[in-house]
Amino acid sequence: GAGVSQSPRYKVAKRGQDVALRCDPISGHVSLFWYQQALGQGPEFLTYFQNEAQLDKSGLPSDRFFAERPEGSVSTLKIQRTQQEDSAVYLCASSSGLVSYNEQFFGPGTRLTVL
Amino acid sequence: QKEVEQNSGPLSVPEGAIASLNCTYSDRGSQSFFWYRQYSGKSPELIMFIYSNGDKEDGRFTAQLNKASQYVSLLIRDSQPSDSATYLCAVVTSGTYKYIFGTGTRLKVLA
């Protein structure tokens, strides 16, 4: 595709509901990242995939957060039993290579509001 | 101390002036440095990256890196109102691929 796409763009959940956020990276991109961006803050790293392998999940804030990329392309970030503090924009980014100076291309984000 | 620090601003400059945005980082092992621009409600888009000490120029933008002092800056020459946005500094440390972002500096270019 032309760029990274994410769906849904907006999600409103009641506290305690489970949500699933989808990311379609740029075709052929090996690396995929999830970030969480609170209002007025910079994005914060959540997790990183290289193909289907989740190599770093150190940023996931709790065991309610789970991410997968089973076939090395599309990724899903799942949040169980959502809490109000989970309200944020969730950004997905992909990168073509495996070196630290490869640019990450960001999707439009999913704005999650937990009531 | 945060790993990557930026002044949140807002930084206001008149149209046509030079805007200077600064970023400091704490990990001496940091290897790659990125400047992203983020308009309100939009996703970050890359302006420049730098990984060697010195200056790197691209059009109206110049990135400057000083690893000894652990800072990286972005200069925007001939600032335009369309440059008004939040500028995010991102750092990649040795052995990782993830970005560590600063909080961003909000720039306002006044017409």
Per-residue pLDDT tens over the stretch A50-62: 999 999 999 999 9
Percent helix / strand / coil, chain A, rounded to 5: 5, 50, 50
How many CB atoms sit inside 10 A of residue A91's CB? 24
Contact B98 A45 (CB under 8 A): yes
User: pLDDT band for position A2 (50/70/90)?
Assistant: confident
DSSP A87: -
Please name the residue of chain A whose CA is at the shortest distance from the CA of residue B41: A108
Q: In percent, how much of chain A has pLDDT > 90?
A: 90
Give the pLDDT confidence score for residue A97 in this predicted structure. 74
pLDDT digit string, tens, across residues B12-59: 999 999 999 999 999 998 989 999 999 999 999 999 999 999 999 999
- Cβ–Cβ contact B51 with A under 8 A: yes
**Is residue B107 within a helix (H) or strand (E), and if so which, with residue range?**
strand B105-110
User: pLDDT band for position B1 (50/70/90)?
Assistant: low
Among the partner-chain residues B32, B45, B102, the one whose CB lies closest to the CB of A100 is B32
How far does B101 lie from chain A, in Å, by closest CA?
6
pLDDT digit string, tens, across residues A34-55: 999 999 999 999 999 999 999 9
- Cβ–Cβ contact B83 with A under 8 A: no
Give the pLDDT confidence score for residue B104 in this predicted structure. 96
Contact A67/A61 with Cβ under 8 angstroms?
no
Q: Is the pLDDT of residue A100 over 80?
A: no
Q: In percent, how much of chain B has pLDDT > 70?
A: 99
Average pLDDT, chain B: 94
Give the pLDDT confidence score for residue A102 in this predicted structure. 80
Among the partner-chain residues B43, B49, B96, the one whose CB lies closest to the CB of A103 is B49
Give the pLDDT confidence score for residue B93 in this predicted structure. 83
Mean pLDDT calculated for residue range B77-84: 97
A chain contacts of residue B39, beta-carbon cutoff 8 Å: none
Cis peptide upstream of residue B10 (ω within 30 degrees of 0): yes
Cis peptide upstream of residue A8 (ω within 30 degrees of 0): yes
Contact B92/B99 with Cβ under 8 angstroms?
yes
How far does A81 lie from chain B, in Å, by closest CA?
26
B34's CB contacts (< 8 A; 6+ apart) are A103, A104, B46, B48, B49, B89, B90, B91, B92, B99
B chain contacts of residue A41, beta-carbon cutoff 8 Å: 103-104
How far does A109 lie from chain B, in Å, by closest CA?
7
Give the pLDDT confidence score for residue A105 in this predicted structure. 94
Report d(CA B44, CA B62) in Å as an integer. 18
Better-predicted residue by pLDDT, A20 or A99? A20
A86's CB contacts (< 8 A; 6+ apart) are A64, A79, A112, A114
Contact A111/A12 with Cβ under 8 angstroms?
no
Average pLDDT, chain A: 94
Side-chain-facing half-sphere of B87: CA atoms under 13 Å: 30
- Cβ–Cβ contact B9 with A under 8 A: no
Parallel, antiparallel, or unpaired: how do β-strands B71-76 and B61-66 relate? antiparallel
